[in-house]
Structure 1
Amino acid sequence: MPLHEQTSLWSETTIKMRDGYVGTLQTGSTLVRNEIDSNLLLLAIGGEGELAMNGEVCRIGASFACHMAQGTSFTLTSGSDELYYMVMTYRAFSLEGASQVTPSYRKHPLQTSFVQSTAAQTEWVQQAEKIIAKWRRGEGLEVFHANALLQIMLYELIMEYESAQGGGESDKVEAVTSYIASHYRRNLELQELADLAGCSVRQLQRRFKQEKQLGPMEYAIRLRMENASRMLRHTDASIGQIADRIGYRDVYYFSRAFKKYYGVSPLGYRLDQASKQYERYAQALLRNRTASSYDSAQGPVICHLRGEYLVRQPPRRIAVLDVQYADHLLALGLPPAGSVGSGSASVDFPPSIRAGLQGTSLLGTYEYPDLPAVERLSPDLIICTEVHDRHAERLSRIAPVLTFKRNESWQTILGLFGELTGRRAEAQIILADYDRRTALLSEELAPALAGQSVALIRPLDSLVRVHSAAHRTGVVLYRDLGLPVPLFVADAADTAYHISVDRLAAVQASHYFVLSNRTMQGGISTTEQRVLDRLDTHGNRQIHGVDAAIWIGCYGPIGINGIVDRIEQALLK
Structure 2
Amino acid sequence: MLLQEQTSLWSDTTIKMLDGYSGTLQTGSVLSETELDSNVLLLACGGEGELAMNGELCHIGASFAGHVVKGTTFTLTARSEDIHYMVIMYKASSMEGASLVVPSYRKHPLQTTFVQNPLTQAEWIENAEKIVAKWRRGEGLERFHANALLQVMIYELIMEFECGQGGAESDMVDVVVSYISSHYRQNLELKELAALAGCSVRQLQRRFKQEKELGPMEYVIHLRMESASRMLRHTDVSIGEIADKMGYRDMYYFSRAFKKYYGVPPLHYRLAAASRTDTDYAHSLLRNRTSSSYESAQGPVICHMRGEYLVTELPQRIAVLDVQYADHLLALGLPPTGSVGVGSAVLTFPQSLRAGLQHTELLGTYEYPDLLAVERLSPDLIICTEVHDQHVERLSRVAPVLMFKRNESWQTILSVFGELTGKRAEAKQIIADYHRRTALLSEELAPVLAGKSVALIRPLDSLVRVHSAVHRTGAVLYRDLGLPVPLFVADTSDTAYHISVDRLPAVHASHYFLLSNEMMQEEISATEQRVWGMLDASKRQHIHSVDAATWIGCYGPTGINGIVDQIEQALLA
TM-score normalized with structure 1 length: 0.77
Relative distance call for 1:538 and 1:38 in structure 2 (3 A) is farther
- What letter corresponds to residue 94 of structure 1 in structure 2? A
Deviation at 1:244, TM superposition (A): 2.0
Q: Residue 317 of structure 2 contacts residue 381 of structure 2 at CA under 8 Å; is this kept in 1?
A: yes
Q: Single out whichever of 103-112 and 242-251 deviates more from structure 2.
A: 103-112
- What letter corresponds to residue 438 of structure 1 in structure 2? T
Deviation at 1:414, TM superposition (A): 0.7
1:340 corresponds to which residue?
Answer: 340
1:331 corresponds to which residue?
Answer: 331
Deviation at 1:429, TM superposition (A): 1.7
Deviation at 1:452, TM superposition (A): 3.9
2:457 corresponds to which residue?
Answer: 456
Deviation at 1:457, TM superposition (A): 0.6
- What letter corresponds to residue 240 of structure 1 in structure 2? G
Q: Residue 91 of structure 1 contacts residue 100 of structure 1 at CA under 8 Å; is this kept in 2?
A: no
Distance 1:552 1:211 in 2: 35
Distance 1:200 1:359 in 2: 66
> Once the two structures are superposed, what CA deviation does each residue of 1:348-403 show, in whole Å capped at 9, x if it has no partner?
11111111112223333333434444344333322222333343344333322212
- Kindly report which structure 2 residues correspond to 1:395-544, keeping only aligned pairs within 5 A, or say none: 395-446=395-446, 447-448=448-449, 450-460=451-461, 464-485=464-485, 492-497=492-497, 510-521=510-521, 523-524=522-523, 526-527=525-526, 530-531=529-530, 534-535=533-534, 538-540=537-539, 541-544=541-544
Q: Residue 319 of structure 1 contacts residue 381 of structure 1 at CA under 8 Å; is this kept in 2?
A: yes
Q: Single out whichever of 192-201 and 134-143 deviates more from structure 2.
A: 134-143
2:137 corresponds to which residue?
Answer: none
> Once the two structures are superposed, what CA deviation does each residue of 1:22-52 show, in whole Å capped at 9, x if it has no partner?
9999xxx7966332575356999x99x9976
Q: Residue 67 of structure 1 contacts residue 112 of structure 1 at CA under 8 Å; is this kept in 2?
A: no
> Once the two structures are superposed, what CA deviation does each residue of 1:50-100 show, in whole Å capped at 9, x if it has no partner?
97643x45698999998642443345799xx98999988554543655999
Q: Residue 91 of structure 1 contacts residue 101 of structure 1 at CA under 8 Å; is this kept in 2?
A: no
Q: Residue 322 of structure 1 contacts residue 366 of structure 1 at CA under 8 Å; is this kept in 2?
A: yes
Relative distance call for 1:476 and 1:98 in structure 2 (3 A) is farther
1:319 corresponds to which residue?
Answer: 319
Q: Single out whichever of 304-313 and 470-479 deviates more from structure 2.
A: 470-479
Aligned residues: 550
Deviation at 1:552, TM superposition (A): 2.2
Which ranges of structure 2 fall in alignment gaps of 5 or more residues? 135-144
The reply on whether 1:354 has 2:340 as its aligned counterpart is no
Relative distance call for 1:19 and 1:406 in structure 2 (3 A) is farther
Relative distance call for 1:499 and 1:306 in structure 2 (3 A) is same
Which ranges of structure 1 fall in alignment gaps of 5 or more residues? 162-169
Q: Single out whichever of 379-388 and 292-301 deviates more from structure 2.
A: 379-388
Q: Residue 20 of structure 1 contacts residue 89 of structure 1 at CA under 8 Å; is this kept in 2?
A: yes
Deviation at 1:444, TM superposition (A): 4.3
Secondary structure of 2:344's partner?
coil
Distance 2:210 2:499 in 1: 45
TM-score normalized with structure 2 length: 0.77
- What letter corresponds to residue 105 of structure 1 in structure 2? P
Q: Residue 535 of structure 1 contacts residue 543 of structure 1 at CA under 8 Å; is this kept in 2?
A: no
Q: Residue 94 of structure 1 contacts residue 101 of structure 1 at CA under 8 Å; is this kept in 2?
A: no
Distance 1:58 1:365 in 2: 58
- What letter corresponds to residue 561 of structure 2 in structure 1? N
Deviation at 1:276, TM superposition (A): 2.9
Relative distance call for 1:496 and 1:158 in structure 2 (3 A) is closer
1:388 corresponds to which residue?
Answer: 388
- What letter corresponds to residue 356 of structure 2 in structure 1? G
CA RMSD of aligned residues (A): 4.9
Relative distance call for 1:330 and 1:60 in structure 2 (3 A) is closer
Deviation at 1:272, TM superposition (A): 1.9
Q: Residue 136 of structure 1 contacts residue 488 of structure 1 at CA under 8 Å; is this kept in 2?
A: no
Distance 1:488 1:206 in 2: 25
> Once the two structures are superposed, what CA deviation does each residue of 1:424-454 show, in whole Å capped at 9, x if it has no partner?
1211122222223333434444552734441
- Kindly report which structure 2 residues correspond to 1:299-318, keeping only aligned pairs within 5 A, or say none: 299-318=299-318
2:553 corresponds to which residue?
Answer: 553
2:138 corresponds to which residue?
Answer: none
Relative distance call for 1:513 and 1:82 in structure 2 (3 A) is closer
Q: Residue 94 of structure 2 contacts residue 100 of structure 2 at CA under 8 Å; is this kept in 1?
A: no
Secondary structure of 2:324's partner?
helix
Q: Single out whichever of 280-289 and 496-505 deviates more from structure 2.
A: 496-505
2:40 corresponds to which residue?
Answer: 39
Distance 1:76 1:321 in 2: 55
Q: Single out whichever of 314-323 and 487-496 deviates more from structure 2.
A: 487-496
- Kindly report which structure 2 residues correspond to 1:187-336, keeping only aligned pairs within 5 A, or say none: 187-189=187-189, 217-336=217-336
Relative distance call for 1:188 and 1:488 in structure 2 (3 A) is closer
Deviation at 1:326, TM superposition (A): 0.9
Secondary structure of 2:408's partner?
coil
> Once the two structures are superposed, what CA deviation does each residue of 1:309-349 show, in whole Å capped at 9, x if it has no partner?
11123222222222111100111122122222222322211
Q: Residue 379 of structure 1 contacts residue 398 of structure 1 at CA under 8 Å; is this kept in 2?
A: yes
Secondary structure of 1:448's partner?
coil
Deviation at 1:283, TM superposition (A): 3.4
Secondary structure of 1:544's partner?
strand
The reply on whether 1:94 has 2:95 as its aligned counterpart is no
Secondary structure of 1:546's partner?
strand
Bigger relative contact order, structure 1 or 2 (CA pairs below 8 A, ≥6 apart)? 2
Relative distance call for 1:531 and 1:114 in structure 2 (3 A) is closer
- What letter corresponds to residue 406 of structure 2 in structure 1? R
- What letter corresponds to residue 340 of structure 1 in structure 2? V
Deviation at 1:211, TM superposition (A): 8.1
Q: Residue 176 of structure 1 contacts residue 197 of structure 1 at CA under 8 Å; is this kept in 2?
A: no
